[in-house]
């Protein structure tokens, strides 16, 4: 319905319709990295990619990320539909890449779900849907990764890193910084995700220590 008003929406839908249904993973492991901005995802995913000779993919995928700012300015349902569609388009890329090499993914479904839940629910963590609610379940028709790692740092350290980066904040990042309850809802939503659940990694240590921990978890949970 919004394609007439937002031409880019039609292009996203065309890409989505060209994706095969029920994507199947190849023989190589797929590892997803989740976390708030400035928790070290970019640094860690690049290091893991180099160490494992893996393919690095990001959400939203490049074929639609050029329109991200357009959809970020839309009402929440349209914005979330854009990111949800991006996950299914990304699944096609994951399916293809995982037949050739290990795949490292910088954000996937858990990000879309966690931010949606945290946005829709006002108040404290206690106001979130209960831990076993179906909103935390992985979609049955979406390609599932072998491992999801959630990078976390304490709020003060994360803000310090953001300030050092000096990048323009997204609307959500600005809210994370100004609204501690929103940040807590996002993080708790990540922790309640199941099938697969997030394995939490303390990313406040040195790059070398975090990489060592991450590689140990990948070795433990994935066939490499």
- Chunked into runs of 10 residues, the chain (224 residues) has average pLDDT values of 79 89 89 88 94 96 93 90 95 96 97 93 91 94 96 74 59 62 91 96 91 95 81
Distance separating alpha carbons of residues 83 and 62, to the nearest angstrom: 12
Query: Residue 221 to residues 14, 86, 146, 160: CA-CA distances in angstroms?
Result: 36, 26, 8, 32
Burial 160-189 (b: 16+ CB within 10 A, else e): ebbeeeeeeeeebeebbbeeeebbbbbbbb
| Residue 18: predicted pLDDT | 87
Predicted local distance difference test score (pLDDT) of residue 141: 92
What's the pLDDT score for residue 174? 60
- List the one residue out of 37, 78, 24, 84 whose CA is nearest residue 60: 84
- Domain 2-218: which CATH number of 3.40.50.300, 3.40.120.10, 3.40.718.10, 2.60.40.10: 3.40.50.300
The residue among 151, 114, 210, 136 whose CA lies nearest residue 33 is: 151
Quote the pLDDT of residue 140: 92
Give the domain ranges of the chain.
2-218
What pLDDT, on a 0 to 100 scale, did the predictor assign at position 219? 94
pLDDT at 155: 66
Instruction: Provide the pLDDT for residue 159.
Output: 65
Q: What angle do CA 148, 9, 195 make, to 5 degrees?
A: 20
DSSP state of 148: E
């Amino acid at each position: 319905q919004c394609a007439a008003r937002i031409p880019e929406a039609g292009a996203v839908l065309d890409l989505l319709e060209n994706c095969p249904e029920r994507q199947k993973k190849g023989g190589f492991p797929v590892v997803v990295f989740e976390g708030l901005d400035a928790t070290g995802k970019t640094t860690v995913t690049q290091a893991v990619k180099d160490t494992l000779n893996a393919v690095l993919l990001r959400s939203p995928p490049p074929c639609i990320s050029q329109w991200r700012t357009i959809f970020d300015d839309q009402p929440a349902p349209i914005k979330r539909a854009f990111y949800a569609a991006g996950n299914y388009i990304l699944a096609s890329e994951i399916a293809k890449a995982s037949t050739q090499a290990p795949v490292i993914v910088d954000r996937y479904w858990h990000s879309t779900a966690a931010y949606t839940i945290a946005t829709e629910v006002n108040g404290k963590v206690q106001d979130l849907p209960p831990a076993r609610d179906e909103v935390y379940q992985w979609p049955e028709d979406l390609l599932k990764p072998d491992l999801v790692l959630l990078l976390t740092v304490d709020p003060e350290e994360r803000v310090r890193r953001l300030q050092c980066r000096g990048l323009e904040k997204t609307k959500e990042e600005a809210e994370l910084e100004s609204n501690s309850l929103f940040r807590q809802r996002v993080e708790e939503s990540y922790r309640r995700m199941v099938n697969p659940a997030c394995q939490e990694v303390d990313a406040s240590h040195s790059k070398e220590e975090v990489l060592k921990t991450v590689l140990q978890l990948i070795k433990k949970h994935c066939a490499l």
